[in-house]
Amino acid sequence: MMQIEECLKKIGDDIWFTEVDRNNLKIDYRIKEIIYQGNSPIQQIMILDSYDFGPMLVLDDAIQTTSNDGYIYNEMIAHVPLNIHPNPKNVLIIGGGDCGAAREVTKYPNVERIDMVEIDEMVVQTCRKYLPKVSGKLSDPRVNFIFEDGTAFVKEQRDYLYDVVIIDSSDPVGPAVKLFELEFYKDIYSNLREDGLMVCQSESPIFYSEMMVKIHKNLNSLFPIVKTYMATVPTYPGGFWTFTMGSKKYWKPNPEKFDKDTKYINKEILESCFILPKFIEKLLDDN
Amino acid sequence: MMQIEECLKKIGDDIWFTEVDRNNLKIDYRIKEIIYQGNSPIQQIMILDSYDFGPMLVLDDAIQTTSNDGYIYNEMIAHVPLNIHPNPKNVLIIGGGDCGAAREVTKYPNVERIDMVEIDEMVVQTCRKYLPKVSGKLSDPRVNFIFEDGTAFVKEQRDYLYDVVIIDSSDPVGPAVKLFELEFYKDIYSNLREDGLMVCQSESPIFYSEMMVKIHKNLNSLFPIVKTYMATVPTYPGGFWTFTMGSKKYWKPNPEKFDKDTKYINKEILESCFILPKFIEKLLDDN
């Protein structure tokens, strides 16, 4: 992890934030203002107001989401599974501390329970306060905030199961590593109803294709239906981003039913997001 | 334009190349080797071997194409129009000095003539020599290299017209500015057969959406059919990239006919590339 002094630099009158990817690529954003800077027991948290993407959430020097493009990721990780499942009532979100995925889930009136298990309460409080364009200051009564390690939560006994599980993790470094392991997916499987499905963010097919392939393999060993879909996210290095669905029964989008107010996804994208460029298909087929 | 000393920096043992976008965003690539550096009468030309994307063409400090992702742009600008036109025989390429678009066009045996009008001969020679993964060392006898200003070329009298015109320009700064003007598109229209069509790269919908909208408007004032399509290009800032087609007659892709050896586009993408995210649709509809 870089020190805070290294990722934020003053050049002339300007502040620049630098995100480093694998020591081969750096992306520098010009910053209007450091809105918030703090440390939770788990990680360093910053809200930086950038010229291009507005206020953005930075955890341990990695951009997680931004006010101006966060809706792309959040819409894609939430609406695809909730549209494919014909009647989701109980939804579990693991991670998603920026509250953006939960906010999309609240757009479904038939959903009765949204358990949001986030390891770092300070991320949630910070985003509700300083990142309203992403979090919507989330306050829907159906959302139960549970501040706990997601891998521990899915091992606990409950008297209900889930229809849809959304794994909205950060990258597989630090606290999120265990959210990419087979054992965790097995526990997710056990927490799903007999017709349930899960979706996780499955990383960049450009810079982390081994991880994308590993997730696909792990889910293939558990679920009868595994499908990868994609979106383009400007603030994720390489632009391309993938999501992988593991499902016990349903796999078909229902565009005719889609009526949500969104900024990226529409009826057509619910289906076309599963059409992958040849090089991504090849990565998944070869492994 | 930055000076060469500013865009290439030595940090420790490493060389880094920095691309600056609107003074709000910088992208830094770690470089293995400066393969070539020279000046044509028109611009500064570099071939830099990057860790992430292999050898890449840099003109006046802006990345034009790279060995590892150049195929995405070149396939999308060439195969979409050549698949939509039922029988393209005469093809004109304006720009495209890296030879990647022309190389894709040569995959169509029924194409009889490929006029490639590039203002800077040195770009072509440099890419044929140092960028074989993009240019394929292009030497197909159907390709006529014409080293001339594209705006002048389309004003000349010829005894034949084109079925497809591909405008593969750099960004609208310096020599390429005139390739984004209405007058130029009028001349393109006049150079097309009565059922001809053209495609141009139409910039980023994130950072240059006004230009994307302007191109769409200009083409709308000339062609009965105007359609925007998109792809994701990792080395173009923001990831999203758009292309706009102006057509006199044809608009429907023919996926069943597509049989080319490609790395990005496939039968499905020929159609799905026209499905635009809501925010891009809105930008085009509002204007």
Averaged pLDDT, B36-65: 97
Q: How many CA atoms lie within 13 Å of B130's alpha carbon, on the beta-carbon side?
A: 24
Is B170 marked as a binding-site residue? yes
Smallest CA–CA distance from A234 into chain B, residue: B238
Q: How far apart are the first and last CA of chain A?
A: 31
Selecting among A60, A61, A163, A168, the annotated active-site residue is A168
**B269 CB within 8 Å of a chain A CB:** yes
Q: Give the separation between CA A259 and CA A163, rounded to whole angstroms.
A: 20
Confidence of residue B2 (pLDDT cuts 50, 70, 90): very low
Smallest CA–CA distance from B266 into chain A, residue: A278
In order of B8, B28, B37, the CA distances from B11 in angstroms are 10, 12, 20
**B274 CB within 8 Å of a chain A CB:** no
Does residue A2 register a pLDDT over 80?
A: no
B70-285 falls under which CATH superfamily? Vaccinia Virus protein VP39 (3.40.50.150)
Cross-chain Cβ contact A277/B265 below 8 Å: yes
The residues spanned by each domain of chain A are 4-66, 70-285
Residues of A whose CB is below 8 A from B268: 275
Cross-chain Cβ contact B30/A51 below 8 Å: no
pLDDT tens digit string along A128-149? Answer: 999 999 999 888 999 999 999 9
**A86 CB within 8 Å of a chain B CB:** no
Cross-chain Cβ contact B51/A278 below 8 Å: no
Phi-psi category of B203—alpha, beta or left, where left has phi over 0 and alpha has psi -120 to 50?
left
Does residue A4 register a pLDDT over 60?
A: no
DSSP 8-state code for residue A23: T
Cross-chain Cβ contact A25/B27 below 8 Å: yes
Cross-chain Cβ contact A266/B277 below 8 Å: yes
Smallest CA–CA distance from A76 into chain B, residue: B277
Structure-block tokens of residue B244: 């706009």
Instruction: Judge: domain A4-66, CATH 3.20.20.70.
Output: no
pLDDT tens digit string along A45-103? Answer: 999 999 999 999 999 999 999 999 999 999 999 999 999 999 999 999 999 999 999 99
Residue A275, Cβ neighbours under 10 Å: how many? 18
The angle subtended at Cα B165 by Cα B159 and Cα B171, nearest 5°, is 130
Residues 237 through 266 of chain B touching chain A, CB cutoff 8 Å: 237-240, 262-266
**B6 CB within 8 Å of a chain A CB:** no
**What pLDDT sits at residue B210?**
96
CA dihedral B105, B109, B112, B114 (to 10 degrees): 10
- With a CB cutoff of 8 Å and minimum separation 6, the contacts of A135 are A98, A99, A100, A103, A127, A128
Contact B234, B70 (CB under 8 A): no
Q: Give the separation between CA B227 and CA A37, rounded to whole angstroms.
A: 45
**A38 CB within 8 Å of a chain B CB:** no
Task: Tell how far CA B102 is from the center of its chain.
Answer: 10
Give the residue among A131, A96, A132, A126 at the shortest CA–CA distance from A114.
Answer: A96
Cross-chain Cβ contact A234/B262 below 8 Å: no
Helices (H) and strands (E) in chain A, counts: 10, 13
Averaged pLDDT, B209-233: 98
Confidence of residue B111 (pLDDT cuts 50, 70, 90): very high
Q: Give the separation between CA B198 and CA B218, rounded to whole angstroms.
A: 13
Q: Which helix (H) or strand (E) holds B117?
A: strand B113-117
Selecting among B60, B69, B168, B187, the annotated active-site residue is B168
Please compute Rg for chain A using Cα positions: 18
Does residue B4 register a pLDDT over 70?
A: no
Amino acid in position B46: M
Contact B112, B142 (CB under 8 A): yes
Q: Give the separation between CA B95 and CA B101, rounded to whole angstroms.
A: 9
Cross-chain Cβ contact A275/B268 below 8 Å: yes
Contact B77, B199 (CB under 8 A): yes
B69 is catalytic: no
The angle subtended at Cα B116 by Cα B111 and Cα B121, nearest 5°, is 150
Residue A83 C-alpha, separation from nearest chain B C-alpha, in angstroms: 17
Give percent above pLDDT 90 in chain B: 95
Averaged pLDDT, A1-14: 76
Structure-block tokens of residue A196: 């349930």
pLDDT tens digit string along B139-191? Answer: 899 999 999 999 999 999 999 999 999 999 999 988 789 999 999 999 999 99
**What pLDDT sits at residue A1?**
46
In order of A72, A229, B61, the CA distances from A236 in angstroms are 11, 16, 23
The angle subtended at Cα B229 by Cα B173 and Cα B29, nearest 5°, is 50
**For A232, which of B29, B232, B264 is closest by C-beta distance?**
B232
Q: Tell me whether residue B256 is exposed, middle or buried, using C-beta atoms within 10 angstroms of its C-beta: 0 to 12, 13 to 18, 19 or more.
A: exposed
Give percent above pLDDT 90 in chain A: 95
Task: Write phi, then psi, for A2 (nearest 5 degrees).
Answer: -75, 155
In order of A256, B153, B226, the CA distances from A268 in angstroms are 10, 40, 19
**A225 CB within 8 Å of a chain B CB:** no
Pairing type for strands A143-146 and B8-11 reads unpaired
pLDDT tens digit string along A188-232? Answer: 999 999 999 999 999 999 999 999 999 999 999 999 999 999 999
**A160 CB within 8 Å of a chain B CB:** no
Sheet holding B113-117, edge to edge: B143-146, B113-117, B90-95, B162-168, B192-201, B240-247, B225-232
Is the ipTM beyond the 0.90 threshold? yes
**For A29, which of B25, B207, B239 is closest by C-beta distance?**
B25
Residues of A whose CB is below 8 A from B264: 277-279
Mean pLDDT of all residues belonging to chain A: 96
CA dihedral B56, B104, B193, B229 (to 10 degrees): -70
Residue A206 C-alpha, separation from nearest chain B C-alpha, in angstroms: 8
Averaged pLDDT, A175-179: 89
pLDDT tens digit string along B87-98? Answer: 999 999 999 999
- With a CB cutoff of 8 Å and minimum separation 6, the contacts of B133 are B54, B55, B67, B68, B70
Residue B278 C-alpha, separation from nearest chain A C-alpha, in angstroms: 5
- With a CB cutoff of 8 Å and minimum separation 6, the contacts of B109 are none
Q: Give the separation between CA A71 and CA A75, rounded to whole angstroms.
A: 6
Q: Give the separation between CA A20 and CA B14, rounded to whole angstroms.
A: 14
* Residue stretches of the annotated binding site of A: 43, 98, 118, 149-150, 168-171, 175
Cross-chain Cβ contact B275/A272 below 8 Å: yes
Residues of B whose CB is below 8 A from A261: none
**B37 CB within 8 Å of a chain A CB:** no
Structure-block tokens of residue A155: 């091992």
**What pLDDT sits at residue B137?**
81
The neighbouring-strand residues paired with B244 are B200, B228
**For A239, which of B29, B50, B239 is closest by C-beta distance?**
B239
Give percent above pLDDT 70 in chain A: 98
Residue B257, Cβ neighbours under 10 Å: how many? 11
3-class DSSP state of A237 = coil
